[in-house]
């Protein structure tokens, strides 16, 4: 019963069934009361007729023959009548039943006295001596002698014969009525469910289906794993998931917007610095061109060229990072030799490392080193990490570029003996334009975007990069990349 339609249908059918049972009970109770009142009004004068025909009690003596004759006459009028003669206290003095029939010895007089009132409310029921647990309709009359109250004639209007006959007839009748009522209720419930429930739930079911499809697109999960329950519960869960997703996206947008503002602030400063330097050196050349010799002129032009290179590098990194942020870069996955790529990249930096008197050592795995990734992006990662290591390693330092294999993966390690990074700065080194306190002057070729680009490329490949560093001892970057299966 996961569907709201099924639950509503079952609820309505159950409600109709309960209503049917209640109506059946009320109808039966009303029918019983009707029969009791009808019987009592039609036969209410039987006891008075019996008491008026002959003297039944005189001076405490019971006329047994008279009570027998009159009881037989009463039974001719109504075969279900049972006649009893009571004393003034309600004790049974005589009756027209066989001697071995067990009877209650005392009849309560409250209802009898109520019956004898001229305007009593009917129907009135009282104790049946043969069935003490049952109250039945009755007729009653006072017995007097010489103006003295001698007792009562008490007639049960629905005796044992009536009760037996009623039970036999009611079994089939009640069963038939109950079955017919249940069938009618279930048919009515089915029709209501078919007409009303469908009319109410069809739009909700269609809405739930659309929301589930939309949620599946947002979460990427199969519909079978999203919800358990009816349409209302599914909508509630879907709106909850979408609310969480929207809140997460809003936070991401806010964070991205803040990063954009910070980036603009930092970039504007970084762009102004080389531009101001370039403009200063060129303006100086324009003003004092005749005063400078060739060596001074060449020095100014060389300095301006370095600032142009830094400006070009910053703009290139900004464009690359913006494309990575916008997910405009799709990795072109292919198989290639990781050791060969690392060897080629290391050769690019041999001359730069030699200029700073830094030993760049390469230790690569000797066997096949085939991986599947975007070779261009992985080259960019290696270039940024090695360039970063050279920038932060002082003269006479060392840099190790290693490739090892472990557990169906290759591990790339770039380690240096540079300045190191403090524990407080480690969580922020992959942020845009972050410059640590221990970083060299920004007048060098650093843009502060290299590690941010590395992190984005790693995320595109679903890889994690780790960093270990100690101040004045060096830093190690490493990441694992799965081995490609060789067919």
* The predicted structure's pLDDT at residue 1: 46
Based on the fold, state whether residues 338 and 368 are members of the same structural domain. Answer: yes
Based on the fold, state whether residues 341 and 248 are members of the same structural domain. Answer: no
Based on the fold, state whether residues 268 and 347 are members of the same structural domain. Answer: no
Based on the fold, state whether residues 13 and 158 are members of the same structural domain. Answer: yes
- Tell whether 214 is covered by a domain: no
CB 210 within 8 A of CB 231: no
Based on the fold, state whether residues 317 and 404 are members of the same structural domain. Answer: no
The helices-and-strands tally (H runs, E runs) of the chain is 12, 14
Based on the fold, state whether residues 111 and 13 are members of the same structural domain. Answer: yes
Domain final position from 151, 170, 189: 170
* The predicted structure's pLDDT at residue 413: 95
- Tell whether 419 is covered by a domain: yes
- Tell whether 240 is covered by a domain: yes
- Tell whether 41 is covered by a domain: yes
pLDDT in tens, 236-278: 777 777 788 788 888 878 877 777 776 666 667 667 777 887 8
Please state, as a whole number, how many other Cβ atoms lie within 10 Å of the Cβ of residue 140: 25
- Tell whether 420 is covered by a domain: yes
- Tell whether 159 is covered by a domain: yes
Based on the fold, state whether residues 433 and 364 are members of the same structural domain. Answer: yes
Q: At 157, phi and psi to the nearest 5?
A: -85, -15
CATH number of the domain at 265, please.
Answer: 1.10.287.130
Based on the fold, state whether residues 471 and 338 are members of the same structural domain. Answer: yes
Give Cα separations from 268 to 149, 449, 466 (angstroms): 124, 14, 31
CATH number of the domain at 60, please.
Answer: 3.30.450.20
Alpha helices in 108-230 (DSSP H): 110-115, 160-192, 198-219
- Tell whether 406 is covered by a domain: yes
Residues forming a β-bridge with 138: 156
CATH number of the domain at 372, please.
Answer: 3.30.565.10
Q: How far apart are CA 102 and CA 118, in angstroms?
A: 33
Domain final position from 153, 170, 187: 170
DSSP 195-236: IIIHHHHHHHHHHHHHHHHHHHHHH---GGGT--S-HHHHHH
* The predicted structure's pLDDT at residue 170: 56
Domain final position from 147, 170, 193: 170
Please state, as a whole number, how many other Cβ atoms lie within 10 Å of the Cβ of residue 234: 24
Q: How far apart are CA 481 and CA 372, in angstroms?
A: 9
Based on the fold, state whether residues 376 and 463 are members of the same structural domain. Answer: yes
Based on the fold, state whether residues 309 and 338 are members of the same structural domain. Answer: no
| Domains: count for the chain | 3
Based on the fold, state whether residues 315 and 414 are members of the same structural domain. Answer: no
Q: Which of 207, 200, 212 is nearest to 237 (CA)?
A: 212
CB 193 within 8 A of CB 1: no
Please state, as a whole number, how many other Cβ atoms lie within 10 Å of the Cβ of residue 402: 17
Full residue range of the structural domain in which residue 290 is found: 233-323
Which residues, given as ranges, of the chain have pLDDT below 50?
A: 1, 226, 440-445
Q: Which of 351, 337, 374, 346 is nearest to 486 (CA)?
A: 337
Q: How far apart are CA 374 and CA 266, in angstroms?
A: 30
- Tell whether 191 is covered by a domain: no
pLDDT in tens, 42-97: 777 888 888 888 888 877 777 778 777 777 777 666 677 888 888 888 888 888 77
Based on the fold, state whether residues 136 and 69 are members of the same structural domain. Answer: yes
Residues 6+ apart with CB under 8 A from 466: 477, 478, 479
pLDDT in tens, 437-478: 555 444 444 556 788 889 999 999 999 999 999 998 999 999
**Half-sphere exposure of residue 423, counting CA atoms within 13 Å on the CB side?**
0
Residues 6+ apart with CB under 8 A from 181: 20, 23, 24
* The predicted structure's pLDDT at residue 163: 60
Q: How far apart are CA 193 and CA 8, in angstroms?
A: 7
CB 218 within 8 A of CB 245: yes
């Amino acid at each position: 019963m996961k569907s709201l339609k099924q639950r509503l249908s079952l609820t309505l059918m159950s409600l109709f069934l309960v209503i049917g049972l209640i109506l059946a009970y009320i109808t039966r109770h009303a029918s019983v009361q009707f029969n009791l009142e009808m019987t009592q009004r039609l036969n209410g004068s039987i006891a008075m007729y019996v008491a008026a025909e002959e003297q039944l009690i005189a001076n405490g003596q019971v006329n047994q023959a008279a009570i027998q004759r009159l009881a037989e006459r009463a039974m001719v009028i109504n075969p279900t009548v049972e006649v009893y003669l009571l004393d003034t206290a309600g004790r049974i003095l005589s009756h027209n039943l066989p001697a071995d029939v067990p009877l209650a010895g005392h009849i309560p007089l409250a209802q009898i006295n109520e019956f004898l009132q001229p305007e009593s409310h009917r129907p009135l029921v009282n104790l049946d001596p043969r069935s003490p647990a049952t109250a039945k309709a009755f007729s009653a009359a006072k017995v007097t002698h010489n103006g003295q109250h001698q007792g009562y004639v008490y007639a049960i209007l629905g005796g044992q014969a009536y009760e037996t006959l009623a039970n036999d007839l009611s079994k089939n009748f009640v069963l038939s009525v109950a079955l017919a009522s249940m069938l009618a209720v279930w048919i009515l419930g089915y029709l209501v469910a078919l007409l009303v429930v469908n009319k109410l739930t069809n739009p909700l079911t269609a809405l739930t289906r659309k929301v589930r499809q939309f949620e599946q697109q947002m979460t990427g999960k199969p519909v079978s794993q999203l919800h358990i329950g009816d349409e209302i519960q599914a909508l509630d869960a879907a709106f909850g998931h979408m609310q969480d997703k929207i809140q997460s996206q809003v936070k991401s947008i806010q964070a991205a917007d803040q990063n954009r503002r910070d980036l603009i602030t930092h970039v504007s400063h970084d762009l102004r610095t080389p531009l101001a330097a370039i403009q200063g050196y060129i303006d100086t050349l324009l003003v004092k061109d005749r005063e400078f010799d060739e060596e001074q002129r060449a020095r100014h032009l060389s300095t301006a060229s370095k600032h142009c290179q830094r400006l070009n590098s910053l703009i290139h990194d900004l464009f690359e990072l913006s494309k990575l942020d916008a997910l405009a870069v799709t990795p072109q996955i292919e198989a290639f030799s990781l050791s060969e790529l690392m060897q080629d990249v290391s050769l690019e930096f041999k001359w730069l490392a030699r200029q700073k008197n830094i030993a760049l050592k390469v230790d690569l795995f000797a066997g096949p080193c085939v991986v599947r990734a975007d070779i261009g992006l992985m080259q960019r990662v290696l270039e940024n990490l090695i360039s970063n290591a050279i920038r932060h390693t002082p003269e006479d330092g060392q840099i190790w570029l290693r490739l090892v294999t472990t557990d169906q993966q290759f591990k790339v390690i770039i380690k240096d003996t540079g300045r190191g990074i403090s524990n407080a700065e480690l969580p922020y080194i992959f942020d845009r334009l972050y410059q640590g306190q221990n970083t060299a002057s920004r007048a060098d070729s650093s843009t502060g975007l290299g590690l941010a680009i590395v992190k984005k490329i790693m995320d595109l490949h679903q890889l994690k990069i780790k960093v270990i560093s100690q101040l004045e001892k060096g830093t190690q970057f490493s990441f694992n990349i799965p081995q490609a299966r060789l067919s």
